[in-house]
A and B are shown apart, each in its own frame.
Chain A
Amino acid sequence: MQSPSPATSHEDLRAIVSDHMHLEGPMLPMLHAIQADFGYIPEDAISVIADMLNMTRAEVYGVVTFYHDFRKAPAGRHVVRICRAEACQSVGGTALSEAALARLGIGWGGTTANGAVTVEPVYCLGLCACGPAAMVDGKVVGRLDAARLDALLAEAGA
């Protein structure tokens, strides 16, 4: 996870958006690039994109909110995504994730009080033959059990 920049700069946003203007269907690549840079989609980005793509702010907002990936606020320093889908459920994934959330005192999508870890649900990571599965900042882990998940969360500072 990149740590989000302290202030969102209008100029940076315009630069990112400009970089993608030549693409066919540039919106998603723009939003991904902005989120990679800022850690979330700042309010300002909506206006910049709307302005440069000649769309209304409402239209851009509608796109941003449609997708689970785009955040309206920064996440914790680390993001742990735990699979909630069927194959992981068949090997005890539900109990595992519920226990972990209870220990951290947060719900799905929540961030620990110290700001270290955000836990998000994900519906399948393609690791369905070695579940329960999770992803820590883009790094995959399989065949999780309570001890392993606790260790990962502790390592992330939760």
Chain B
Amino acid sequence: MKIYIPMDSAAKALGADDVADAVKAGLAERGIEAQIIRNGTRGMIWLEPLVEIDSGEGRIAYGPVNAQDVPALLDGKMDSLGRVEDIPFFARQTRLTFQRCGVIDPLDLAAYEAHGGLAGLRRAAAMTGPRIVEETTTSGLRGRGGAGFPTGIKWKTVCEAEADQKYIVCNADEGDSGTFADRMIMEGDPFSLIEGMAIAGLGVGATKGYVYLRSEYPDAIRVMNAAVEIARAQGVLGADIAGSGRAFDMEIRVGAGAYVCGEETSLLNSLEGKRGVVRAKPPLPALEGFLGKPTVVNNVISLATVPVIFEKGAQHYADFGLGRSRGTVTLQIAGNVARGGLFETAFGISLGEVVEDIAGGTRSGRPVKAVQVGGPLGAYMPREKFDTPMGYEEFDQNGGLIGHAGLVIFDDSADMLQMARFAMVFCAVESCGKCTPCRIGATRGVETIDRIARGDTAATGLLTDLCETMKEGSLCALGGFTPFPVMSALTHFPDDFATRKEAAE
């Protein structure tokens, strides 16, 4: 018998470690022989801790399980959810990037290989750099960190650059509220990221990689460090990776609590040991990146998707999707939600289907008021926009952005003026300080929204102008996109910006 208990930090935050202890004790008491496997999460966070028991007829799911439930669980007296693959939320997904997450012990390299791991790297090892880059381009993969830039094109620039040293830098700063896909894959299937970085290294001729991992993720830091050591010991990293005759090695670096360091040039400054201020582009990091050398900077999910592209072929990946958004989107459904978690599916599904149907609306049971898509710099989408399909261009046309694909759901008790105010506060707190419209403008924005809150509705014109200035005059998307949440709140929920005045009258 095998018993799977996740070690993902969301599962732990809901008591998975206590459950594991109770299971261990319960098994000993009953004299039952069973193997406990600490897997990643399947991503159905509302069911965590989700325990799976495999007695030979598939993996039967139970959840949420707390420590007090364990005696009933072990005595076969707890209701099961059936086979985990049959749970509708799971059954409806197309799992490519997350194919192994929650399935295996994250640090078991043999299990990784048995589930398709390293096949992509072996295939890439037999290809030339330019062929690897071409395959990546064919897949249609676009950056999952926010900007959606075609990954193959970025790699081509680095591949063609002449230099004695090139780098692969993985952006694992995942600062957006409502996002946890990077964390989940690093905790649940770290070798997929390592394999993706190795393939990137072979593709562009880089021998050294760094993962810039935010300090807010101590569990992910532990798992990634352990995985790198195992990969090195097993020859997945080192002087001759996967028999390619080429070298690649990597290190995990820990961030220091600055949201702006998720912006790629700020990240590079931080990695070099400087203040995390944003650099002007050009020069592109692809030509002058880490320590001035040609550097690929890619998000965790972009890189962790590369192995499956090489395993199954670029065309297989490109066959999923909508328009210019190819492959799968790893949606993170969060906030006030009945069924929250990670949902990987082909691009093209509508926002409303995700929110109402898959996620089941709010946790509070009240009507959905708004969904913030794409993190703190993303727009608040009202119900009227729920037919927007998940696609980079489609969201853009509807005044929003997909970003890192986080969805934060709010019920009708949300005060959108307060949410707009928070967006400005956040920008002021996290600004790198380089541009006046961002550094000073955000603080003015807070003051202006406070004026509106006191009943001075005329200040909405000021707020609109200020947002225009921030959009036009900011070097990076922190100052430049903060107007998205602010203006979407103001435009779609004008009542929240007017009620106080009426109440005062």
Contact = CB atoms under 8 A, between A and B. Distances in A.
Given A28-B254, A126-B174, A127-B9, A90 B335 contact: yes
Interface in A110-158: 122-131, 133, 135, 138-143
A28 B256 contact: yes
A139 to B, nearest CB: 8
Interface residues of A, number: 43
A130 B410 CA distance: 14
Most interface-central of A129, A133, A140 (chain B CB within 10 A): A129
A128 B12 contact: no
A129 B333 contact: yes
Interface stretch (B105-113, B114-122, B149-157, B268-276): B268-276
Interface stretch (B25-33, B177-185, B463-471): B177-185
A126 B216 contact: yes
Nearest to B46: A129
Interface string B1-36: 000000001101110000000000000000000000
B183 A126 contact: yes
A141 B13 contact: yes
Contacts of B333: 129
A133 B177 CA distance: 12
A63 interface: yes
Nearest to B336: A90
Interface residues of B, number: 65
Interface in A81-129: 81, 85-91, 122-129
Contacts of A23: 251
Given A66-B258, A67-B258, A142-B10, A130 B48 contact: yes
B273 A25 contact: yes
A86 B272 contact: no
B19 to A, nearest CB: 14
Contacts of A86: 177-178, 335, 372, 376, 408, 419, 422
Contact of B179 (A26, A70, A128): A128
A62 B273 CA distance: 11
B175 interface: yes
Contacts of B251: 23
Contact of B177 (A25, A124, A139): A124
Contacts, number: 159
Contacts of A90: 335-336, 408-411, 414
Contacts of A123: 175, 177, 259, 426, 429-430
A31 interface: yes
Contact of A62 (B13, B275, B334): B275
Interface in B420-436: 422, 426, 429-430
Contacts of A74: none
Contacts of A131: 334-335
A91 B45 contact: no
Nearest to B186: A126
Given A90-B335, A142-B14, A130 B340 contact: yes
B260 to A, nearest CB: 9
Contacts of B323: none
Given A28-B254, A86-B408, A128-B178, A66 B217 contact: no
B273 A142 contact: no
Contacts of A28: 253-256, 270-271, 273
B356 interface: no
Most interface-central of A23, A24, A69, A124 (chain B CB within 10 A): A124
Which are the 7 A-B pairs with shortest beta-carbon distances? A27-B273, A129-B340, A142-B13, A85-B177, A128-B334, A67-B256, A68-B257
Given A24-B272, A128-B334, A130-B48, 16 more contacts: A24-B208, A25-B253, A27-B273, A29-B253, A32-B256, A68-B256, A86-B335, A87-B177, A87-B334, A123-B259, A124-B216, A125-B9, A128-B332, A130-B45, A131-B334, A139-B12
13 contacts: A24-B272, A29-B253, A62-B275, A69-B255, A87-B178, A88-B177, A123-B259, A128-B408, A129-B10, A130-B48, A135-B216, A140-B13, A141-B13
